[in-house]
Amino acid sequence: MNTFYLIKPYFVKNRSSIALGLVCLIAVDLLQLFIPRIIKLAVDDLASLKAGVSDLMWYALSIIGITLFITILRYFWRIFLMGMSRELEEGLRNRLFSHIQTLSASYFNKVKSGDLMAHATNDIHHIRMASGMGMVAIASAAVLGISTIGFMAYINLSLTFFVLIPMPGIILCTRFFSRQMLNAYMEVQSSFSELTEIVRERFTGIRIVKAYNREPESMSVVEKISRFNMEKNLRLVRITGIFFPMMVFFSNVSLSIVLYLGGRQVITGIISPGDFVAFISYIGMLTWPMMALGWVVNLIQRGKASLERIHRIVETMPDIYDKPDAKEIKDFKKEIVFDNICFSYQKGEQEVIKDFNLRLEKGKTLGIIGPPGSGKTSLLNLIPRIFDVSRGSILIDNNDIRQLITSDLRDMISFVPQEPFLFAGTVLENITFENPDIPEHLLIESVKKACLYDTIESFSKKFETIVGEKGVILSGGQKQRIALARAFLKDSPIIIFDDPISQVDAETGTIIINTIKDMAAKEDKTIIIVSHRLSAVRYADLIITMKHGKISESGSHEELMLKKGYYAKTFQLQEIEEGLNAI
Ligand SMILES: Nc1ncnc2c1ncn2[C@@H]1O[C@H](COP(=O)(O)OP(=O)(O)OP(=O)(O)O)[C@@H](O)[C@H]1O
């Protein structure tokens, strides 16, 4: 599978900094090799009692000079190479998020949001590591490894051969243990996210926990996952506990070989004491490239697997998309028609909307009632194409909505969902959807229509009040009114309300309903309103009762009362209830 296209643009765009970074990295690796050479010269001069104070000073200053140079170059290769990998990480994450946003609601029904979070964090992290550190490890292993061996062979070929014998051990061990460490690290990460999620949930639900005296049970749930997280951490500690001492072991085996064989060569005069000391320094330098060789294979394998997962998401086509010849629609002129529509959430599953037919003229209000699960919300979601019908069609002014530009269609509709969702931010940002160009009088007007003005005025920071965990916690009714204000502000010709007064008191509910009624009458809005409170729908031009995804009754309030069906019974029950509440 060719997935390189996802990261290629970052390599191409940053080719100059990558080249500069690699030049700096190679220069660092090569410069390091000269330090043992200087030590060799110093030791040989000392051993032959030739070294004067000025010679020693010169050797010392040379080492300081090289080290200074190495420090500067190291800074630059990190900036050039790591900068590129960070840019890649950011770009890939943005691309993933922007693509996921285009996917249809049905995709989110199938995929857990936790998995999407993992793609946006873990997978992108692996790709960054494979492209940034992978490049560094390959370049370092090649340049430092080969040139260190070259410098050692220059001193003595046979000694180099013997010293290299334990090195494959380092490569194989790193390969094995880095895979184990990565797996263990992933398990630590995932158990930690589980732990944070459980703790977050337990704190969010603290009121219900207290009300039912479930603190001990809550504690034991957190203790269990906390212990699990500790065990995963201990596993990681055990693996690293074996790995690092093993690296030291292999490196010390090489050291012993130099000590024994190299020492004998010094005695017999084959190599000088300086060469002997330099050899020992080179062994230290060789350990990292050998480890890098073992490590980089896993790094790249994991990055490749992550890139394939991201590729699969990026290649997923949204179920709902604009056809190439999709039509513009800027005005709603005549009617919405539901032409024998059926809908199920998954192909082949039970239909939640069945053979549904209805015509709603512009400027009219449609009220929808029905028992829970009868398909009311599902029906509403089909109009702005959150989901698409399985059969039949929804027509707006004789255009099948699947033939229209989706953003045009959605621009014509304001939607107040059953469960209002607020984003972390201010009241203003939540109502205006962060659009700073909204004139103030329109904002105030919509907030007043939603019966929210006095509430906002009572907040010390008014519209700038932060809502959510970091600010004011709003009641369910206040959230619902923010959602209403959003819809009123959008001022579209079609407004869909899904149970808009379920969480407000009767008095506020009546004011909101009167506002909606006025909008229908004075502003020529077409309104579709679902409600369990029949006072919210009784004024509608047409009321339908839904049962098992079908229309079971339809008519005006008066007609339905005469039919003495679900609507009439529910209406009478609610009247009795309201009468009792008034006592
Ligand atoms: N996202 C979904 N995926 C799969 N099935 C769903 C989904 N949403 C709703 N359903 C199912 O579709 C059926 C109709 O649900 P819907 O929410 O449309 O009913 P409703 O009439 O709006 O109910 P309520 O009055 O409780 O809001 C139910 O059986 C429900 O379980």
Q: Which 3-state string (H, E, C) describes 497-508?
A: EECCCCCCCHHH
What pairs with residue 527 in β-bridges? 365, 495
Q: Which residues, 6+ apart, have CB-to-CB distance to 426 below 8 Å? A: 461, 463, 464, 465, 466, 467
Which atom of ligand 1 is closest in space to residue 371's alpha carbon?
Answer: 25
Residue in 375, 379, 339, 391 with CA at minimum distance from that of residue 548: 375
CB-ligand 1 contact for 372 (6 Å cutoff): yes
ipTM: 0.97
Tokens of residue 184, six digits:
């263990």
Q: Which residues, 6+ apart, have CB-to-CB distance to 244 below 8 Å? A: none
pLDDT for residue 382: 96
CB-ligand 1 contact for 374 (6 Å cutoff): yes
- Ligand 1 center–CA 324 separation, angstroms: 32
- Ligand 1 center–CA 507 separation, angstroms: 29
Instruction: Tell me the three state secondary structure of residue 543.
Output: strand
d(CA 280, CA 163): 10
d(CA 257, CA 264): 10
Calculate the alpha carbon distances from 280 to 107, 137, 271, 283 in Å: 60, 23, 13, 5
The full set of domain ranges for the chain reads 81-314, 320-412+492-583, 421-491
Tokens of residue 275, six digits:
């060469």
- Ligand 1 center–CA 549 separation, angstroms: 10
Tokens of residue 23, six digits:
């030049």
pLDDT for residue 498: 94
- Ligand 1 center–CA 381 separation, angstroms: 11
Residue in 8, 101, 25 with CA at minimum distance from that of residue 407: 101
- Its sign, for the CA torsion 489, 490, 493, 494, is negative
Tokens of residue 425, six digits:
């931010």
Please tell me the residue having the least CA distance from ligand 1 atom 5. Answer: 345
d(CA 383, CA 372): 20
pLDDT for residue 291: 81
Q: Do domains 320-412+492-583 and 421-491 have the same CATH topology?
A: yes
CB-ligand 1 contact for 109 (6 Å cutoff): yes
Q: Which residue has the tokens 């000392």?
A: 46
Task: Find how far residue 339's CA is from the centre of its chain.
Answer: 39
Q: Which residues, 6+ apart, have CB-to-CB distance to 260 below 8 Å? A: none
Residue in 102, 250, 233 with CA at minimum distance from that of residue 172: 250
d(CA 275, CA 154): 10
Task: Find how far residue 525's CA is from the centre of its chain.
Answer: 38
CB-ligand 1 contact for 373 (6 Å cutoff): yes
Architecture of domain 320-412+492-583: 3-Layer(aba) Sandwich (3.40)
Strand duo 466-467 + 425-426: pairing: antiparallel
d(CA 273, CA 259): 11
pLDDT tens over the chain, length 583 residues: 688 899 999 999 999 999 999 999 999 999 999 999 999 999 999 988 877 888 899 999 999 999 999 999 999 999 999 999 999 999 999 999 999 999 988 888 888 777 788 788 888 998 999 999 898 888 888 899 999 999 999 999 999 999 888 888 888 888 888 888 888 887 887 788 788 888 888 888 898 899 889 999 999 999 999 999 999 989 989 988 898 888 888 888 988 998 999 999 999 989 999 999 998 999 888 888 888 877 888 788 888 888 998 999 999 998 899 999 999 999 999 999 999 999 999 888 899 999 999 999 999 999 999 999 999 999 999 999 999 999 999 999 999 999 999 999 999 999 999 888 888 889 999 999 877 788 889 999 999 988 889 999 998 888 999 887 655 678 888 888 899 999 989 889 999 999 988 877 887 888 888 888 888 777 788 999 999 988 889 999 999 999 999 999 999 999 999 998 999 999 888 878 766 665 6
Q: Which residues, 6+ apart, have CB-to-CB distance to 222 below 8 Å? A: 195, 198, 199, 202
d(CA 450, CA 159): 86
pLDDT for residue 433: 83
CATH of 421-491, one of 1.10.10.10, 2.30.29.30, 3.40.50.2020, 3.40.50.300: 3.40.50.300
Q: Which residues, 6+ apart, have CB-to-CB distance to 161 below 8 Å? A: none
pLDDT for residue 15: 94
**CA end-to-end distance (rounded Å), the chain:** 72
CATH of 81-314, one of 1.10.8.50, 3.20.19.10, 3.50.50.60, 1.20.1560.10: 1.20.1560.10
Q: Which residue has the tokens 């294979």?
A: 297
Radius of gyration of the chain (CA): 36
Residue in 549, 193, 106 with CA at minimum distance from that of residue 371: 549
Quickly list H helices, 491-565: 506-522, 557-563
Please tell me the residue having the least CA distance from ligand 1 atom 19. Answer: 373
d(CA 169, CA 16): 37
